[in-house]
């Protein structure tokens, strides 16, 4: 037992007494732990002995099973390889077939696109041909209209040229009149300038003479004044003083004032002379300014005359160039129309020749129609054609003119057509062109008019004469 009267301890020994004591359960727990571990080791040894006690027999069985599995796997792999090879062949065949189909599809698409492009090109070409035909017809109509109105335009242009020439002549006359007037004014100004220069020279000579005279007079006056002063002083000294002092002073002042009056008179004369010289110089400056103004007016008149001449020349050149351009344009249009006419005549002759050749090949002597009485084999080899029909040897411009006298020549009443219709072989007379505008008749030579009037009408081609 603890002593209640024991002394209190304040060190680590007091804490040792406060710790709990180890009881029996603590040791029992560790005992069962070691016991379970021993049991586990015993069971593990038994299991290992049971598993690995007969190792050779187990490995042989396992090897046999693995061999059997390997054989099955090889058989299945061979079967699968055969299946894969067949599938590859099928895939290659289907791929080649698909490639062929794709190639065929691309070809068909390309041909379809080409057909569409050709169709669009043909439609565009057809539209262009129609527009070109319309333009040709418009140009033909315009050419005929220009042929009619060319005389009027040339007459108006000639009238304009004449009017411009008259205007230029009138302006030239006016400018020459102004030039003559300015020349007269300049001559008058020159004469006035010469008069003023002579007057100026006279005034300058007078000024010089007056200056010399003034200097001489001043010198003489100075000498006279000195002499007078000396004589007065000598006379005042040597002579008796019979007069008063007042008279002497008055005489002295009069003599002294004489020089002042003379100087003032000379200054007044010089001032008047300067004033006159200034007036003369002003008149000379005014005459020079008038002369410069006249010369400027003359130069302006000459410049205006030159500009008007250049303008008239430019207008003449423009009118001449316009006439030449119109003439060239008309010549080009006429050449184009003539070439078009020749081409159309050639096409007509070719179509006629082809039609006649086809008829000659198709018609044989067995199925030939009976000849009309009054016709001979020499005059008409084709029995079903009329005798007045032109033979194949005379197929040319004359034959086409005989069939269609006004088909492609200069018609008497030209019309503007919407579409160019090719005249057929069986057509009779002129082709049916709708006449939109009526123009005056173009003049033809009397030989052509006589030929056209005396020409008999051509019968239809595709019908028998009977």
* Domain ranges (residues) in the chain: 85-117, 168-332
Are 363 and 385 in contact by the 8 Å Cβ rule? The answer is no
Report the C-alpha gap between 126 and 137 in whole angstroms. Answer: 16
Q: Residue 320, SS3?
A: helix
Question: Where do we find the tokens 């007036």?
Answer: 279
| 311 — pLDDT class (breaks 50, 70, 90) | confident
* Alpha carbons 244 and 122: distance in angstroms, whole number: 149
> Residue 241 pLDDT more than 80?
no
pLDDT value of position 181: 80
Residue 54 has pLDDT above 70, yes or no: no
Q: Report the alpha-carbon distance of residue 110 to residue 61 in Å, rounded.
A: 71
pLDDT of 62 above 90: no
Residue 332 is predicted with a pLDDT of 87
CA distances from 181 to 79, 135, 168, 287, 291 (A): 132, 62, 20, 17, 13
Distance CA 180, CA 268 (A): 47
Nearest to 466 by CA among 368, 360, 369, 365: 369
On average, the pLDDT of the chain sits at 71
Q: How far is CA 319 from CA 96, 160, 170, in A?
A: 78, 9, 20
**Across 292-320, average pLDDT:** 81
For the residues 24-33, what does the mean pLDDT come to?
89
pLDDT, greater one: 19 or 47: 47
CA distance 309 to 442: 41
pLDDT band at 259 (very low <50, low <70, confident <90, very high): low
Please say whether the beta carbons of 199 and 322 come within 8 A: no
Output the pLDDT for position 443: 44
pTM of the model: 0.27
Query: Is 93's pLDDT higher than 90?
Result: yes
Over residues 199-231, the pLDDT tens digits come to 778 878 877 887 787 777 777 777 777 777 777
| Separation of alpha carbons 405 and 427, rounded Å | 12
Higher-confidence position of 319 and 7: 319
Does 428 have pLDDT greater than 70? no
Is the alpha carbon torsion for 228, 234, 240, 243 positive or negative? positive
Long-range contacts of 266-274 (CB under 8 A, 24+ apart): 266/214, 266/217, 266/218, 269/210, 270/210, 270/214, 273/203, 273/206, 273/207, 273/210
Residue bearing the bigger pLDDT, 6 or 273: 273
Closest CA to 445 of 409, 416, 414: 409
Per cent of the chain over pLDDT 90 is 12
Q: Is the pLDDT reported for residue 117 higher than 50? A: yes
For residue 14, the model assigns a pLDDT of 54
d(CA 169, CA 176): 10
Angle between helices 245-362 and 55-238 (to 10 degrees): 150
pLDDT: which is higher, 76 or 385: 76
Identify the top-confidence range among 79-93, 372-386, 404-418, 452-466.
79-93
Give the 3-state secondary structure of residue 291: helix
pLDDT score, position 86: 93
Identify the architecture of domain 168-332 in CATH: Orthogonal Bundle (1.10)
């Amino acid at each position: 037992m603890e002593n209640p009267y024991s002394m209190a301890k304040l060190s680590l020994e007091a804490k040792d007494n406060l710790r709990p004591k180890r009881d029996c359960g603590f040791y029992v727990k560790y005992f069962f732990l070691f016991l379970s571990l021993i049991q586990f080791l015993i069971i593990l040894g038994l299991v290992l002995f049971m598993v690995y006690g007969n190792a050779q027999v187990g490995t042989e069985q396992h090897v046999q099973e693995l061999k059997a599995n390997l054989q099955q796997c090889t058989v299945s792999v061979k079967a699968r390889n055969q299946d894969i090879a067949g599938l590859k062949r099928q895939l290659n065949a289907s791929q080649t077939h698909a490639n062929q189909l794709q190639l065929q599809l691309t070809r068909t698409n390309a041909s379809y696109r080409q057909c569409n492009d050709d169709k669009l090109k043909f439609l565009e070409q057809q539209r262009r041909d129609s527009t070109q035909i319309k333009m040709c017809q418009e140009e033909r109509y315009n050419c005929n209209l220009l042929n009619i109105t060319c005389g009027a335009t040339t007459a108006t242009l000639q009238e304009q040229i004449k009017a411009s020439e008259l205007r230029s002549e009138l302006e030239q006359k006016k400018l020459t009149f102004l030039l003559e007037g300015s020349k007269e004014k300049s001559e008058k100004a020159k004469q006035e300038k010469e008069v003023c220069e002579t007057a100026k020279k006279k005034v300058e000579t007078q000024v010089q003479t007056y200056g010399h005279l003034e200097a001489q007079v001043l010198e003489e006056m100075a000498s006279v004044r000195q002499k007078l002063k000396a004589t007065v002083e000598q006379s005042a000294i040597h002579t008796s003083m019979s007069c008063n002092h007042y008279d002497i002073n008055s005489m002295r002042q009069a003599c002294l004032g004489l020089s002042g009056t003379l100087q003032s008179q000379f200054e007044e004369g010089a001032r008047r002379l300067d004033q006159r010289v200034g007036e003369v110089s002003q008149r000379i400056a005014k005459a020079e300014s008038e002369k410069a103004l006249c010369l400027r007016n003359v130069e302006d008149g000459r410049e205006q005359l030159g500009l008007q001449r250049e303008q008239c020349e430019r207008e003449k050149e423009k009118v001449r160039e316009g006439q030449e351009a119109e003439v060239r344009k008309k010549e080009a249009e006429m050449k184009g129309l003539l070439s078009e006419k020749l081409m159309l005549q050639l096409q007509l002759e070719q179509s006629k020749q082809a039609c006649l050749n086809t008829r000659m090949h198709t018609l044989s002597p067995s199925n030939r129609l009976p000849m009309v009485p009054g016709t001979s084999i020499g005059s008409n080899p084709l029995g079903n054609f009329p005798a007045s029909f032109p033979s194949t040897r005379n197929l040319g411009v004359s034959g086409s003119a005989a069939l269609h006298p006004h088909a492609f020549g200069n018609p008497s009443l030209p019309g503007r057509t919407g579409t160019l219709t090719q005249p057929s072989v069986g057509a009779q007379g002129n082709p049916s062109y709708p006449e939109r505008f009526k123009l005056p008749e173009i003049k033809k030579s009397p030989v052509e008019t006589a030929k056209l009037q005396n020409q008999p009408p051509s019968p239809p081609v595709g019908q028998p004469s009977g």
